[in-house]
Amino acid sequence: MTMEDFAALLDESMGVSNPFEGSVIKGIVVRVESDFAVVDVGLKSEGRVLLKEFATAGRAPEVKAGDAIDVFVERYEDKNGEVVLSREKAKREEAWTLLEKSFEANQRVNGVIFGRVKGGFTVDLSGAVAFLPGSQVDIRPVRDITPLLGSPQPFQILKMDRSRGNIVVSRRAVLEETRAEQRSELIENLKEGQILEGVVKNITDYGAFVDLGGVDGLLHVTDIAWKRINHPSEALHIGQTVRVQVIRFNSETQRISLGIKQLDADPWEGVEAKYPVQAKFVGRVTNITDYGAFVELEPGVEGLVHVSEMSWTKKNVHPGKIVSTSQEVEVMVLDVDPQKRRISLGLKQCLSNPWESFVEKFPAGTLVEGEVKNITEFGLFIGLPGDIDGMVHMSDLSWEKSGDAAIAEFKKGDMVKAKVLDVDIEKERISLGIKQLSSDPFQDAVANVKKGDIVTCTVTQVTDNGIEVQVDGMTGFIRKAELSRERSEQRPERFAVGEKIDAKVTMIEKGARKVTLSVKAREIDEEKQAMAEYGSSDSGASLGDILGAAMRKAQEDK
């Protein structure tokens, strides 16, 4: 006996592990009991394997008598003298061997996702259990993994450690590789006008990025629909499948511009025929700005109601105080420009013109009554029926007083009566007059006075240039040089306010409402008359005698 034989006999007698332990051997299923399959592996006793070890993910155990299977010998015999076998470890050992070859060759492997664990999922790789991190499931985050459970999927092994029984796989790596192949093929065959199907990947304020299968394209917000869209999220959501058309493609930068609205007919074609000028339509307010409101006449066709065309009377009001978003309004087409894709609309044109209505009820010469709405340096604004204002100019407030003095007599809120002087519908102006409610005292007075008359007037003001007088309701003025024939008497300070004097009317200015008088002219007239009646200085009578006689005659006549 050699030393080697002796060592083997010693090992056997001392119970040293059998060489079958820890290895995979062939066996035959003898019979199937309630929970076990009895397997003959050619050793001194049969072994038993739990039926659940024959089950695959999501399936019932499939084993019957006579099946030849691989089993892993865990122990040569247990306390009952039976061989301890494992089907799972046999499959795992076989799977690990194959997986290591695939890992070294950087090849894909097939597996089934069958469970969820912290941070990811468990994958059955033909008997070996691998870990699939949540970030490696798909290219995009997956909210629901249910459709992937129980179905075979290709995976890429990222890391494996046999001693620790640790395998990490990725489904995403496989998808990215496939995606790269699809991207190359797509870019190679891509052309403008092509219609594709994609998935909305991301949404921004200016548009959405659509995954075309390996390459992304930008769908700008203005190309989503013909109608106004304020934000892409109004029409799209992440994960949505959409049909798009390639609008532009730059092969150098590989930038792709996409459009959805291009798949539908342009609603602006024939817009002039559909929306003729002066026609009225009902639309919906889609957007309100400082300068007006946009009204949708049909999906994709909007018109602008400028703030100046919104109301006949509200001129300095924000459009948002006249209309509201989503409100249906009646508008009139004012202008159509199909080249610039613009339609000008009017809101007030669908309402009665308050100035036209006013002039029908209150023509020129009619009396009206209203409240003083505003007072300016040039007149009063009075509220009138129809929510419009009329203006009384300062010159139409009073016949006698100056404009400033007349304005000072009014305050906001006063109810006043006035006469309609003029209505300008185009300029939207109504002229009113308050002084016209009574006759013009100047015209009444001047009707009884003519140039050359001698009138008695009352001094109302003394100035350096002359005196101001009142004549039967008219204002007159006597210049300094016209106060007397004698230069020494041509002094305004000779006269006092309230003093009455006789003077000759030398000029009547109706436009300026002014009468010019002269004491000097009256004195010259009196001298000529006296000379004619009482003689002349040539007959020997002095001028003093003649005037003295005329004065005595005048006293006697009184």
In this structure, which amino acid lies at residue 221?
V
Q: What percent of the chain has pLDDT over 70?
A: 80
What band does 300 get if pLDDT is binned at 50, 70 and 90?
Answer: confident
The candidate with the shortest Cα–Cα distance to 453, out of 522, 527, 532, 531, is 522
Q: How far apart are CA 404 and CA 401, in angstroms?
A: 8
């890992």: which residue's tokens? 103
Q: Is residue 247 within 8 Å of residue 223, measured between CB atoms? A: yes
Number of Cβ within 10 Å of residue 157's Cβ equals: 22
More confident residue, 515 or 332: 332
pLDDT for 418 equals: 92
pLDDT for 90 equals: 64
pLDDT for 275 equals: 93
pLDDT for 16 equals: 43
What ranges make up the beta strands (E) of 301-387?
301-306, 328-337, 342-346, 367-376, 379-384
The CATH number of 20-91 is which of 2.60.120.260, 3.40.718.10, 2.30.30.280, 2.40.50.140? 2.40.50.140
pLDDT for 386 equals: 82
Q: Is residue 114 within 8 Å of residue 124, measured between CB atoms? A: yes
Q: How far apart are CA 32 and CA 53, in angstroms?
A: 13
What superfamily in CATH does domain 271-348 come from? Answer: Nucleic acid-binding proteins (2.40.50.140)
Domain 106-176: give its CATH code.
Answer: 2.40.50.140
Q: How far apart are CA 468 and CA 479, in angstroms?
A: 9
Q: Average pLDDT in the 161-169 region?
A: 83
pLDDT for 419 equals: 92
User: CATH class for domain 190-263?
Assistant: mainly beta
The reply to whether domains 106-176 and 190-263 share a CATH topology is yes
pLDDT for 180 equals: 73
Within 8 A by CB and 6+ apart from 524, the residues are: 485
What band does 529 get if pLDDT is binned at 50, 70 and 90?
Answer: confident
More confident residue, 141 or 138: 138
Q: Average pLDDT in the 543-551 region?
A: 56
C-alpha radius of gyration, the chain, whole number: 57
State whether residue 170 is helix, strand or coil: strand
Q: How far apart are CA 461 and CA 483, in angstroms?
A: 14
Q: How far apart are CA 226 and CA 217, in angstroms?
A: 19
Q: What is the pLDDT of residues 2-29, one digit of tens each?
A: 555 555 554 554 444 455 555 566 777 7
What band does 216 get if pLDDT is binned at 50, 70 and 90?
Answer: confident
Q: What is the pLDDT of residues 431-453, one digit of tens each?
A: 999 988 888 777 777 777 888 88
Q: Is residue 530 within 8 Å of residue 546, measured between CB atoms? A: yes
pLDDT for 32 equals: 75
Q: Average pLDDT in the 146-163 region?
A: 84
The candidate with the shortest Cα–Cα distance to 128, out of 101, 162, 158, 151, is 162
More confident residue, 95 or 450: 450
Within 8 A by CB and 6+ apart from 298, the residues are: 267
Question: Would the pLDDT of 553 be above 60?
Answer: no
Half-sphere exposure of 290 (CA within 13 A, CB side): 0
User: CATH class for domain 441-534?
Assistant: mainly beta
pLDDT for 346 equals: 94
What's the Cα-to-Cα distance from 517 to each of 87, 444, 451, rounded to whole Å? 141, 18, 9
Q: What is the pLDDT of residues 271-295, one digit of tens each?
A: 999 999 999 999 999 999 999 999 9
SS3 content of the chain, % helix, strand, coil (to 5): 25, 40, 35
pLDDT for 420 equals: 93
pLDDT for 71 equals: 66
Fold of 354-433: OB fold (Dihydrolipoamide Acetyltransferase, E2P) (2.40.50)
Q: Is residue 99 within 8 Å of residue 157, measured between CB atoms? A: yes
Q: How far apart are CA 418 and CA 438, in angstroms?
A: 10
Q: Is residue 380 within 8 Å of residue 368, measured between CB atoms? A: no
Question: Would the pLDDT of 31 be above 90?
Answer: no
Within 8 A by CB and 6+ apart from 129, the residues are: 122, 123, 167
């799972």: which residue's tokens? 88
The least confident of 35-49, 165-179, 247-261 is 35-49
Q: How far apart are CA 161 and CA 107, in angstroms?
A: 17
- Could you state, in order of their start, the residue ranges of all structural domains in the chain? 20-91, 106-176, 190-263, 271-348, 354-433, 441-534
Q: Average pLDDT in the 409-414 region?
A: 90
Question: Would the pLDDT of 66 be above 80?
Answer: no
pLDDT for 509 equals: 81
Q: What one-character DSSP code corresponds to residue 439?
A: -
Q: Average pLDDT in the 392-397 region?
A: 89
Question: Would the pLDDT of 321 be above 80?
Answer: yes
Q: Average pLDDT in the 163-176 region?
A: 84
The candidate with the shortest Cα–Cα distance to 207, out of 262, 263, 258, is 258
In this structure, which amino acid lies at residue 247?
I
Q: Average pLDDT in the 348-365 region?
A: 89
Q: Average pLDDT in the 313-332 region?
A: 90
Q: Average pLDDT in the 114-127 region?
A: 85
More confident residue, 555 or 488: 488
What band does 540 get if pLDDT is binned at 50, 70 and 90?
Answer: very low
pLDDT for 330 equals: 94
pLDDT for 15 equals: 46
